[in-house]
């Protein structure tokens, strides 16, 4: 056995990480999601690839997967806007619970037929691959820069962040039923109610606690606020799990509370967690690539590909259409939601649970889950822009330059720095700033026009499409937004 020094391990990890980041720039040109490239890099570096790195530790994989998912959900929750999420809340909850249950049943029956598995093991495979993956959905939507119409994007983001607890519960519950066949299936229902209830309560309460802690800590160094946020994410998961609740649900809900509240260094903390989320996604997919043995995938390739197609074209659409049956959501939007049923690191992480529990056929479940994830990212991830155009539910968003100025609220957080784009037919189009009579408590500090920064002066004219960066009280900024809106025709 060859001894690998810690120094060499660090060097290899650094090279793989940097290679993944550099390679991700190719994803746009190749039209494939970056997550797929991360997986391929891991497989090339693995024991059966040219890299020859031997890695088969499912315990470490599960631990890293849980930590990664905590931070990915935390970031996703902080970036979830409550105003856009509130109208789809009922649909999102139904889709993330009832929808996962439907997917588990349909995929489980298909797995029983395709893999010739016993019913409980087949349902276990269905539960493992039932949930959409937050890391896959969040990263691919950002990467493809799609402006999706209506409530598609908030519904997808909420569902992918909130359906993991259901998949985790079903996976663990089915493992328990397999190991204890004398227990009736309904014995896990009280446990489900307990986990979801405790997870929801702890998430909401700890989210408010975190906001209070941010604003009252008065730390000496700004960088410590980001470290505090890391600790809070782990605290929410840990304390909720120990109390018998769903830690993943608690983390996501706490992050929504935090992200929709005002606290010191808010923007810098959200930016920090965006980087952490990418680090977790890249690291997790690299590890998963290292873990898989391509030669073992060949044995399950045909039934796994068929199961992937069942998930894409039957189980996922059925779960979406039934979950949104009584909503007024247009059929095209429902179809787009059904197609963005991306599988990612979560199914592979969940597939380690039956392996570590010693469940029969667990290696088949793991290999099939990996193949399904690969197929989902390759087929669904690459086709999102095309399907959005077919359904007429989205367009490519323009990638404007970011505003270079940032602002950290102090005191009672009554002031803010916001970006406002002048809409078409605005009454201030073509009006000089000096003649616009903006509120005294609203200071126009910068204008982004056609990709160029313009320093505002009194004689500067405002034009449709300009992005204004305004510093001032929230009331004054809201007044500016009202002044920019077109006057309704009588």
232 half-sphere exposure, CB direction, 13 A CA radius: 29
pLDDT of residue 307: 95
The two three-digit tokens of residue 377, written as one number: 């990212």
Q: Looking at the domain covering 6-396, what would its CATH class be?
A: mainly alpha
pLDDT of residue 2: 45
Q: What's the CATH code, domain 415-484?
A: 3.30.70.1450
Asked whether the beta carbons of 374 and 409 are under 8 A apart, the reply is no
Question: Alpha-carbon distance 287 to 281, whole Å?
Answer: 10
Question: Alpha-carbon distance 385 to 391, whole Å?
Answer: 10
pLDDT of residue 71: 92
pLDDT of residue 271: 86
pLDDT of residue 164: 84
**Main-chain phi, psi angles of 421, to 5 degrees:** -100, 130
Spatial CA neighbour of 364 closest among 185, 112, 181: 112
Q: Report H helices in 260-361.
A: 266-291, 294-310, 316-323, 331-339, 345-357
**Main-chain phi, psi angles of 415, to 5 degrees:** -105, 160
Spatial CA neighbour of 25 closest among 142, 143, 135: 143
pLDDT of residue 385: 80
Neighbours of 3 (CB within 10 A): 5
Asked whether the beta carbons of 81 and 154 are under 8 A apart, the reply is yes
pLDDT of residue 297: 78
The two three-digit tokens of residue 155, written as one number: 């519904």
Question: Alpha-carbon distance 320 to 334, whole Å?
Answer: 7
Neighbours of 475 (CB within 10 A): 11
pLDDT of residue 407: 65
* Domain ranges within the chain, ordered by starting residue: 6-396, 415-484
Low-confidence ranges of the chain (pLDDT < 50): 1-3, 398, 411
Spatial CA neighbour of 158 closest among 386, 324, 271, 309: 324
DSSP 8-state class, residue 432: B
């Amino acid at each position: 056995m060859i001894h690998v020094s810690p120094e060499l391990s660090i060097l290899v990890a650094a090279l793989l990480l940097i290679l993944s980041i550099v390679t991700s720039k190719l994803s746009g040109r190749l039209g494939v999601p970056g997550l797929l490239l991360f997986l391929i890099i891991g497989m090339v570096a693995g024991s059966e690839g040219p890299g020859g790195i031997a890695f088969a530790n499912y315990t470490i994989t599960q631990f890293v997967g849980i930590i990664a998912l905590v931070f990915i959900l935390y970031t996703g929750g902080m970036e979830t806007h409550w105003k856009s999420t509130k109208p789809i809340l009922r649909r999102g909850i139904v889709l993330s619970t009832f929808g996962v249950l439907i997917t588990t049943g349909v995929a489980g029956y298909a797995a029983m037929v395709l893999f010739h598995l016993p019913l409980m093991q087949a349902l276990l495979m269905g539960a493992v691959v039932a949930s959409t993956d937050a890391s896959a959905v969040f990263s691919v939507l950002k990467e493809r820069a799609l402006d999706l119409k209506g409530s598609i994007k908030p519904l997808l983001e909420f569902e992918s962040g909130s359906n993991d607890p259901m998949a985790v519960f079903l996976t663990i519950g089915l493992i328990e039923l397999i190991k204890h066949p004398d227990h009736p299936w309904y014995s896990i229902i009280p446990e489900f109610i307990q986990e979801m209830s405790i997870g929801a309560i702890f998430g909401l309460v700890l989210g408010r606690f975190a906001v209070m802690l941010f604003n009252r800590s008065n730390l000496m160094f700004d960088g410590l606020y980001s470290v505090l946020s890391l600790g809070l994410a782990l605290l929410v998961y840990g304390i909720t799990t120990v109390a018998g609740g769903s830690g993943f649900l608690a983390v996501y809900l706490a992050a929504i509370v935090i992200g929709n509240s005002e606290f010191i260094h808010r923007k810098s903390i959200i930016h920090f967690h965006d980087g952490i989320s990418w680090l977790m996604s890249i690291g997790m997919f690299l590890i998963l690539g290292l873990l898989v043995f391509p030669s073992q995938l060949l044995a399950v390739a045909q039934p796994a590909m068929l199961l992937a197609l069942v998930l894409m074209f039957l189980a996922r659409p059925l779960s979406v259409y039934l979950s949104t049956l009584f909503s007024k959501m247009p059929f095209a939007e429902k179809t787009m939601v059904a197609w963005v049923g991306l599988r990612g690191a979560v199914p592979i992480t969940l597939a380690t649970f039956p392996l570590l529990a010693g469940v029969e056929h667990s290696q088949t479940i793991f290999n099939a889950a990996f193949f399904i994830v690969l197929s989902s990212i390759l087929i669904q991830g690459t086709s999102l822009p095309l399907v959005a155009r077919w359904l007429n539910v989205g367009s490519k968003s323009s990638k404007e330059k970011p505003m270079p100025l940032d602002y950290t609220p102090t005191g009672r957080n009554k002031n803010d720095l916001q970006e406002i784009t002048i809409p078409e037919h605005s009454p201030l189009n073509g009006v000089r700033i000096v003649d616009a009579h903006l509120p005294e408590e609203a200071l126009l500090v910068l204008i982004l026009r056609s990709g160029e920064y313009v320093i505002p002066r009194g004689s500067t004219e405002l034009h449709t499409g300009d992005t204004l960066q305004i510093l001032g009280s929230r009331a004054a900024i809201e007044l500016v937004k009202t002044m920019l809106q077109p006057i309704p025709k009588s």
